[in-house]
Amino acid sequence: MRFGVHMPQKGGFKKNVERVAGLDCQSIQIFPGNPTGWKMGKLDEKDIAKRAALLDENSIKPLVVHSAYLINLASTSAEFLARSRTLLQQTMERAGAYRSPYVILHTGNHGGQGAENGLNQIVRVIKEDMAGWPAEVKLLLENTAGSGTALGARFEELAEILSYFPKHALGICFDTAHAWAAGYDLSSTKGVKETLARFDAFVGLANLYVIHVNDTYVELGSKVDRHDHIGEGRIGREGFAAFLNYGWPEDIPVILETPENGTEWDRTNLETLRDLAGS
């Protein structure tokens, strides 16, 4: 496993990479622009080369790109859908420029049109648009907490989307806090085994490319997305010990999205992860 953190928006790329390198991070995740807006950050070719060199110097890979939260490929609004498609296209292109192999996308919200209609729309949009994406960048759908009309909380929904595409054309990002909120127990060895066996049966562990490790303080199945520090929430130390020792590939990025990122909490959470993983 390649442990990493989500980079804070403030402080600049160089400073943040040097900071996480000092924490012995091996991977990193960024937003390429405003996570709650429609605008992509400025692109500077010289800056891109410097970023790539800095990551290489510190043996940090992969760089994972997380798309803006606004993007919704299941939107019932034609205008909102068009803007979502444009921003996703820009995000995929930016990831290609940054030499990132993955873009993570929250699956979407059907907005009242029904889960099946929403899923079908997501499939249609991706099929129409993916030919224009950089071939070296893979879109990863992230499991959600299931609040409101959110899609992708149930493993069956993720599997349904993947089933319409060639093998490994898309992938999945698994978020522990989201899975817990959606009703999948990860607080014990038994719960972890059952949850991941179910994931493998429907989605396939071979389709999992990135893991978000977050504890959470909400009740199991609450459908509320709230993150907590590793070992301090409902999943707890036993759950994370079982999860981290499940037998993951050595090169899979395992990214922290815990509260107060960019502070000493990053070091604390990374130390807890390594301790529980026995590394």
Instruction: Inform me whether the pLDDT recorded for 273 exceeds 80.
Output: yes
Confidence of residue 45 (pLDDT cuts 50, 70, 90): confident
Express each pLDDT in 130-184 by its tens digit. Answer: 999 999 999 999 999 999 999 999 999 999 999 999 999 999 999 999 999 999 9
Express each pLDDT in 209-239 by its tens digit. Answer: 999 999 999 999 999 999 999 999 999 999 9
Instruction: Report d(CA 235, CA 109) in Å as an integer.
Output: 26
Q: Where are the domains of the chain?
A: 2-277
Q: What is the pairing mode between strands 171-175 and 27-30?
A: unpaired
| Alpha-helix residue ranges (DSSP H) falling in 98-210 | 115-129, 155-163, 176-181, 189-202
Instruction: Report d(CA 162, CA 169) in Å as an integer.
Output: 8
Backbone angles phi, psi at 29, to 5 degrees: -125, 140
Could you tell me the fold of the domain covering 2-277?
A: TIM Barrel (3.20.20)
Predicted model pTM: 0.96
Mean pLDDT (the chain, rounded): 95
Tokens of 243: 């999860």
Instruction: Report d(CA 66, CA 29) in Å as an integer.
Output: 7
